[in-house]
Amino acid sequence: MYAEIDLELSWSEEQLPQVERTKHVHSLHPYLGKFIPQLVEVFLRRHFRPGDCVFDPFAGSGTTLVEANAFGAHAVGCDISAFNCLLSRVKTAAHSLGALELALKGTLEEARRSAPADASSASAWLRSWYSERALGELLAYREALDRLDGATADAARVVLSRAARSARLTTHFDLDAPRAPQREPYWCHKHRRTCRPVGEAMKFLRRYTADTIRRLREFAALRTPAEVVVLHEDARRVQLPRRPSGIVTSPPYPGLIDYHEQHRYAYELLALRDRSADEIGAAARGRSRQSVRAYVDDMVAVLANAHRQLPAGAPVIIVVNDSRDLYPEILARSRVRLEARLTRHVNRRTGRRAGEFYEDVLVCRAA
């Protein structure tokens, strides 16, 4: 039996179509495990005021940070994944839009005009997951973006990463987590016909250059002067640059997702620092009793560290599918008091992971 469903946190497809769930920068790059921005909007209205500071110890793709800024609240986000931090910074930066558009279009044109780069020195992983042409085009774009700097270079890196995701040698219906390169024609469950693996990257670089410019312009119209800080740090130990008013977060679930591995192409192409060994609840560790106990201890460390930096009574909002009932212990050991346990209905509408389930929203206060 589930508790009464909070209707303000549960939407039908008709009430909340995909175009709204993926508005402006929230779909700047695909990301497994993010929560929808409308949830954050509700939490901000219920528990915060403009001018407050919202902390997300698991910033992920930056959903909380984006919505906090649009709400007029300052935001601090922390994540162990360098790619997540890159993506969050690009989404929330105050871009000079005209200069950004010129730079991204110029980088694309420079890469298009140059011959595909020599891929012989690329990593074995890259050479196994891309056709020679696609990898050469990605590397040519990488060489072109090296002439950029600051937030503009970071935006180009996100374009490159998104194109690399689409240009892999994989089936059209399994872009989320392909297990092995697909080099031969295959029966496509998505298109209901025989398809061939992608052999180029330039068409994706063109498409995502235009899409990135459009999405950043859309968010710029909503962006406020509120400060956003993104820290590539471990939430168990991070020292925050300012005192937050409260927390809104969706932590990892034990044994579900490898957050570094889902963006492996970005780490390979951009030489990002890999801290996957420090991930909490990584899928690679499984769901054994030992792994689950380690997850509990790690989450206690995260919340206890945050608690030391929160004012008494600060709201702590945690969105989690607590099917193992781990959070009563986690909260008690972290000195975070549970006020309400809300239930929301989740209907994942698209993709091979489509389905429905129930999710908890833990409304807590720092003791």
Structure letter (DSSP) for residue 251: P
Structure letter (DSSP) for residue 36: P
pLDDT value, residue 348: 52
The contacts of residue 25 (CB under 8 Å, 6+ apart) are 62, 66, 90, 91, 92, 215, 216, 218, 219
pLDDT value, residue 102: 98
Evaluate whether 140 touches 117 at the Cβ level (below 8 Å): yes
Q: Which residues of 149-183 are buried (b: 16+ CB within 10 A; e: fewer)?
A: eebbebbbbbbbbbbbbbbbbbbbbeeeeeeeebe
pLDDT value, residue 354: 52
In the chain, which residues have pLDDT < 50? Answer: 1-2, 350-353
The contacts of residue 334 (CB under 8 Å, 6+ apart) are 299, 300, 303, 304, 307
pLDDT > 90: what percent of the chain?
80
pLDDT value, residue 174: 84
Map out the domains of the chain as residue ranges. Answer: 7-92+227-366, 97-220
Superfamily of the domain at 7-92+227-366: Vaccinia Virus protein VP39 (3.40.50.150)
Report the chain's mean pLDDT, rounded to a whole number.
92
pLDDT value, residue 1: 35
Evaluate whether 111 touches 205 at the Cβ level (below 8 Å): yes
Structure letter (DSSP) for residue 174: -
In this prediction the pTM is: 0.93
Q: What is the rounded CA–CA span in Å between residue 336 and residue 124? A: 47
Taking 3-state DSSP, the helix, strand and coil percentages for the chain, each rounded to the nearest 5, stand at 45, 15, 40
pLDDT value, residue 21: 82
Give the Cα-Cα-Cα angle 241, 242, 248 (nearest 5 degrees). Answer: 105
pLDDT value, residue 3: 56
pLDDT value, residue 355: 57
